[in-house]
Amino acid sequence: MAVDTLSLAGKIAIITGSGRENGIGAGTAIALARNGAAVTIHYVSDSVTERAHAIAEKIRVDGGKAIVVQTSIETPEGAQHLVNETLRGFNSDRVDILDPVNNAGTAIWGDTLAVEPGQLTKVFDVNVNGPIFLAQAVVPLMKPGGRIINISSIASKLGDASIPVYGASKAALDSLTWSWAKEWGRTKGITVNSVAPGPVLTDSNPVEEFQRPAIDITRAADRAGIPEDIADAILLLVSEKARWITGQYISVSGGVNN
């Protein structure tokens, strides 16, 4: 009989964009580490270095395992470096959990007519190309039972006029989720799902009043979400309990109706 637990003991997880303590990535890394996973804290900017190392130290002080890797995931070389450092840091030949958050995601606010080519390229490099490069580096190393969680957004389905390009990039990521679930499910035993946060108070969106329009269409409570709300959903999806859930878009938004 299977153990009735969400334990991730012995699992190795890469969580991109997890270097800011008030972000979804950091919340996810902490939740997975608390339940036994060895986690790679990833960040890009030099300005986040101390914060990323502080998150890893917190995990270690609490008895968990964590390493820190700085790299861009917008190139195949950067994605491969992240994976190589994870394998070296944990003396492993596999990765069990990939959360290509695209937590390292980026958004462009404003009218489509005003979007510049460089901005368009940046959004798709981080939110679409990056996850592809990471999957190319990680999937050959995954054993049956591997988990990929793409961080989407309710903007991928809402048609939000304030962030149309960002929404389009997340819709592209959702399409990859569905395709990857089919591509690697039967052949490799890997599950792939999209988690779509709604309004969440994070390092990049710290003021609740700015998210009021999205909060007003939630159903669970009159508040924005917090990173732990998203992290706990991800924790369930990467556990053995979610073995029969794949190819799904899962809104973790307090009940926003897409």
Tens digits of residue pLDDT in 81-121:
999 999 999 999 999 999 986 554 577 888 899 999 999 99
Tell me, yes or no, whether 40 lies in a domain: yes
CB 238 within 8 A of CB 97: yes
Which residue in 166, 169, 194, 253 is the catalytic one? Answer: 166
pLDDT in tens, 10-24: 999 999 999 999 999
Write the pLDDT tens digit of every residue in 48-85: 999 999 999 999 999 999 999 999 999 999 999 999 99
How many domains in the chain? Answer: 1
Q: Which of 153, 169, 194, 239 is catalytic?
A: 153
At residue 207, the pLDDT reads 56
Check if 153 is active-site.
Answer: yes
**Share of residues in the chain with pLDDT > 90 (%):** 77
Whether 203 maps to a domain, the answer reads: no
2 assigned to some structural domain: no
18, 43, 152, 157: the active-site residue: 152
Per the prediction, the chain carries an average pLDDT of 91
Is 209 a domain residue? no
**Structural domain contains residue 51:** yes
pLDDT (0 to 100) of residue 258: 58
What's the pLDDT at 218? 77
Give the pLDDT score at 199. 84
Active site residue 170: yes
Q: What is the pLDDT of residues 118-167, one digit of tens each?
A: 999 999 999 999 999 999 999 999 999 999 999 999 999 988 888 899 99
Residue 193 has pLDDT above 60, yes or no: yes
166 catalytically annotated: yes
Write out the H or E segment, with its range, that includes residue 86: helix 76-89
Q: What is the pLDDT of residue 164?
A: 93
Which entry of 156, 170, 239, 251 is annotated as an active-site residue? 170
Q: Pick from 65, 59, 21: which is nearest to 43 by CA? A: 21
Residue 32 domain-assigned? yes
Give the CATH number for residue 121. 3.40.50.720
Any idea what the Cα angle at residue 80 is, between residues 77 and 82, rounded to 5°?
Answer: 110
State the pTM of this model.
Answer: 0.93
Is 130 part of a structural domain of the chain? Answer: yes
Q: Which of 67, 69, 135 is nearest to 102 (CA)?
A: 135
For residue 31, what are the domain limits? 12-196+230-252
Q: Is residue 206 part of a domain?
A: no
**Distant-in-sequence, close-in-space partners of 123: CB < 8 Å, separation ≥ 6:** 106, 107, 108, 165, 166, 169
**Inter-axis angle of helices 117-124 and 164-188, nearest 10:** 30
